Structure 1
Amino acid sequence: MQVNVQRVAGVQTTVYPILIAISVGHLLNDSMQAVIPALFPILETSMNLSYTQIGWIAFTLNMTSSVMQPVVGFFTDRTPSPYFLPLGMASSLLGMIGLAFAPHFFFVLLSVLFVGFGSAIFHPEGSRVVYFAAGTRRGFAQSIYQVGGNTGNALAPLFTALIFVPFGQKGAVWFTMIAALGIVLLFRVSRWYSLRLKEYGTMQKQGKSGKSGVKNHRNIMFALTLLIFVVFARSWYSAGISNYYQFYLMKHYHVPIQEAQVYLFVFMIAGAIGTFVGGPLADRFGKRNLMLFSTLGTAPFSLMLPYLPLVWVLPVVFLAGFILSLSFSTFVVYAQELLPGNVGMASGLIVGLAFGMGALGAVVLGKIADLYNLNILMILCSFLPLFGALTWWLPKEKSSASQ
């Protein structure tokens, strides 16, 4: 039966309309996630929040989605559920309504839970749609999918400057329309996905022989653990920049809130560009090679960033975001090849659990900022990409894929 899954995902032609549709759905889903960090400067002022409380909001969002993603993926690997896609978007819609009218900190946390659940429900099934539609261009297809999510996240600074500064937290109401659009779009994708499942059978049946590599179980677990640890480190760095660098710019360089969003937007949009470029590079030069270059190659720029004059910050922030994100989709594809019979769970472990561990980083980093200062925080964060050197010990693709 493992031959079938290779035939389904490897021999068929790439279905570009579905890849573009699920990428747009990913953009809409992650745009609503981006609303939450976009609200941080507003909530800090209106609710008088500490950096630690801001960290707890980020923790609630990311831990909800990160812990739940592999759980949802494990379930849907055995019982694929195409209509989880619009269901996840509906959960995020409820979260947007709650955020718009949240009267205090704990109601914000409750609203964020709905957004986190929506993301956890969406991502595993979204990754499986990409797996079906990818054809032979696995890295490129994953890049198309992930660039939608990265672009959605990159919009957070623009949301702050253009929506939440003038309208306050009630500006979140506008995002209910984005959620409604997403529900319609993903319902159509779900119909295509449902037909594919009927045609080829469930992923459970296709992937049962994915356990044929049990004899190399220790190698698989070592590679997967190392992979998650490296992603964990890069997630902490991203959490430091995404959640706190705007405050560092305002306090260290004395730039206004709107201008601080420009620097953050450049970092995040560079990440979206890097994600798109990285997939084809991984297909050509090898996944492990790209992961090593991407993570370790970010270190020179991250290490110099806290010491730069303001005029050099923008180009260095762009290069750091671009290089760091070259391997974003590659981590997911590599994990899927380690666990070929558990595509949803593999995606959940990387996109959800490992990347979502930035949530824990947000709390720890927020506590560091409260106990010491933002300058110490940025210096500590600058060393995190050095953990990319561990990627050297990952098995090469032929070894991992054969397992």
Structure 2
Amino acid sequence: MADRPTSERTNPTGPPPSVERADDSVTRRWRLLGLSWAHLLNDGAANYLPGVLPAILVSLDQPARMAGVLVAALTIGQALQPVTGWVADRIGGRVLVVSGLLISSVAGGLVGLVHTTGALIALLLLIGVGNAFFHPPALAGVRSLLQGRRGFLTSVFLVGGELGRGLWPTVASLITANFGLTYLWIIALPGLATVPMLLRSAPKLPAAPQRGRAIQWRRHASPMTLLIGYRSIRALTIFGLTTFIPLMWQARGGTLVEGASVITTMVTVGVVGNLWGGHLADRFGRRPVLVASALGSSGFIGFVVYLPGAWAWVAAAALGVALFLTASTTVLIGQDIFPENRSMGSGIALGLANGIGALLVLVIGLRVDDGNIESVFWILALLSLASTLLAIALPKSLMRE
């Protein structure tokens, strides 16, 4: 009788290694999609505020300048991400990912039930803490699932967050317009239903040893400063646009849902920029993507503000693509700057920069009233243009050129 093929002789009781590798790849991709879904729900519950901000200001009898304070309170907690990233690497597991989604969902669902400015600010700060818990370990978990094409596949995860930030403002505005602010508790339900799935399927990262490699702060200081500067301006631009576009729309006689839909268009179409940017960075290097994003964002802001009618939504879509070209690229740069602690690198690139951007929104917002809202957009356009210098200054070793 003829000998059996070598693969059958060496693996008589199980599938060939190629099948096992294919099964493992499919499992990894399903877990990546699960994390992306959790990212959508986390960021949706934590970032829908701009869609209902005009209604909240009216309910609290607060002026337009309070918008910057509220958005800053919502996002300042993200500055904790370097700390939560360090903790996540030390304790491992998936507890911070699950806790982050739980906190963001529950606190987000309670926003419409508070009746004083102080209580609302406290709740928004708590949402920011939930966001800080979720992102660094989730990003590190995503990286552990990736094999090749990291820029593009990291974009897949980040797309979930962008869809949440884009769709939930309009969802929240529809809930508010039809039922009232008190029914925003509906926002919490999808996240609560997803927590059991995360407990089972989120990557369970190993705990880092207490005596791991020391972080070389002096070596990393220069590229870290440049990246934080660039990302902070991106964060300020995104937060500023999502905060003041609905207020500008209302001041011009638009409805709550219309103003929210401009944000939704900008952020959801920005998914194209996210995926495209990750692909372009993998193919052509990171620096061209950083520069193109800064220049494109600066140029399209004016079109969103001044184009009439339906053209405003077209311009918002183009602006979203430009804004989010760098989403995955800047996270990967942060991780590469800090190879000793990639969760902390993600936290610096994403969270710390977002916290600084939130403070800048607060500073700008305190100078805003109903008569000069348009001046905010000129400031954002000029700062975005200036950020090209920071992209050019980043070290070549981080640019994959």
Percent identity of equivalent pairs: 27
Partner of residue 153, structure 1: 165
Partner of residue 225, structure 2: 225
Partner of residue 343, structure 2: 344
Letter in 2 for 1:251: A
Partner of residue 367, structure 1: 366
Secondary structure, counterpart of 1:327 in structure 2: helix
Partner of residue 199, structure 2: 187
Letter in 2 for 1:227: L
How far does the alpha carbon of each residue in 1:227-276 deviate from its partner, in whole angstroms, 9 at most, with x for none? 11011112111122100111112324x32222222222111112222112
1:354 is displaced (CA, Å) by 0.5
Deviates more, 1:368-377 or 1:265-274: 368-377
Letter in 2 for 1:157: P
Aligned residues of 1:298 and 1:323 also touching (Cα < 8 A): yes
1:238-257 correspondence to structure 2 within 5 Å: 238-252=238-252, 254-257=253-256
1:2-401 correspondence to structure 2 within 5 Å: 15-64=28-77, 66-190=78-202, 193-194=203-204, 197=206, 202-204=207-209, 208=212, 220-252=220-252, 254-370=253-369, 373-390=372-389, 391-396=391-396, 399-400=397-398
1:72 is displaced (CA, Å) by 0.6
Bigger radius of gyration, 1 or 2? 2
Aligned residues of 2:88 and 2:343 also touching (Cα < 8 A): yes
1:372 is displaced (CA, Å) by 5.8
Secondary structure, counterpart of 1:125 in structure 2: helix
Aligned residues of 2:227 and 2:330 also touching (Cα < 8 A): yes
Deviates more, 1:316-325 or 1:219-228: 219-228
1:51 is displaced (CA, Å) by 2.2
Q: Any stretches of 5+ residues in structure 2 without a counterpart?
A: 1-23
TM-score, length of structure 1 as denominator length: 0.86
When residues 333 and 13 of structure 1 are mapped into structure 2, their CA distance, relative to the original with a 3 A threshold, is farther
Deviates more, 1:237-246 or 1:173-182: 173-182
1:342 is displaced (CA, Å) by 1.0
1:35 is displaced (CA, Å) by 3.0
How far does the alpha carbon of each residue in 1:332-384 deviate from its partner, in whole angstroms, 9 at most, with x for none? 00111111121111111111110232311321222121296112222222212
CA–CA separation in structure 1 for the residues paired with 2:108 and 2:236: 26
When residues 356 and 310 of structure 1 are mapped into structure 2, their CA distance, relative to the original with a 3 A threshold, is farther
Aligned residues of 1:302 and 1:383 also touching (Cα < 8 A): no
Secondary structure, counterpart of 1:116 in structure 2: helix
1:115 is displaced (CA, Å) by 1.5
CA–CA separation in structure 2 for the residues paired with 1:337 and 1:343: 7
1:322 is displaced (CA, Å) by 0.5
1:185 is displaced (CA, Å) by 2.2
Aligned residues of 2:43 and 2:162 also touching (Cα < 8 A): yes
When residues 41 and 186 of structure 1 are mapped into structure 2, their CA distance, relative to the original with a 3 A threshold, is same
Aligned residues of 1:76 and 1:344 also touching (Cα < 8 A): yes
CA–CA separation in structure 2 for the residues paired with 1:320 and 1:35: 19
1:178 is displaced (CA, Å) by 1.6
CA–CA separation in structure 1 for the residues paired with 2:100 and 2:163: 19
Aligned residues of 1:232 and 1:354 also touching (Cα < 8 A): yes
1:53 is displaced (CA, Å) by 2.2
Q: Any stretches of 5+ residues in structure 1 without a counterpart?
A: 1-11
How far does the alpha carbon of each residue in 1:307-353 deviate from its partner, in whole angstroms, 9 at most, with x for none? 43345322222111111201111100011111112111111111111
1:118 is displaced (CA, Å) by 1.2
1:45 is displaced (CA, Å) by 1.5
1:168 is displaced (CA, Å) by 1.8
Aligned residues of 1:337 and 1:400 also touching (Cα < 8 A): yes
Aligned residues of 1:164 and 1:171 also touching (Cα < 8 A): yes
Aligned residues of 1:236 and 1:384 also touching (Cα < 8 A): no
Aligned residues of 2:52 and 2:256 also touching (Cα < 8 A): no
- Equivalent residues, number: 375
1:127 is displaced (CA, Å) by 0.8
Partner of residue 6, structure 1: none
Aligned residues of 1:98 and 1:108 also touching (Cα < 8 A): no
When residues 298 and 137 of structure 1 are mapped into structure 2, their CA distance, relative to the original with a 3 A threshold, is same
1:394 is displaced (CA, Å) by 1.0
CA–CA separation in structure 2 for the residues paired with 1:97 and 1:378: 30
How far does the alpha carbon of each residue in 1:191-230 deviate from its partner, in whole angstroms, 9 at most, with x for none? xx22x63xxxx4458x94586xx5xx65632111111101
Aligned residues of 1:91 and 1:114 also touching (Cα < 8 A): yes
Secondary structure, counterpart of 1:369 in structure 2: coil
Secondary structure, counterpart of 1:353 in structure 2: helix
Letter in 2 for 1:16: R
How far does the alpha carbon of each residue in 1:42-98 deviate from its partner, in whole angstroms, 9 at most, with x for none? 21121112223222221111111x222111111222222412221222222431353
CA–CA separation in structure 2 for the residues paired with 1:168 and 1:229: 39
CA–CA separation in structure 2 for the residues paired with 1:263 and 1:75: 37
TM-score, length of structure 2 as denominator length: 0.87
Aligned residues of 1:266 and 1:317 also touching (Cα < 8 A): yes
Q: Alpha carbon RMSD of aligned pairs, Å?
A: 2.3
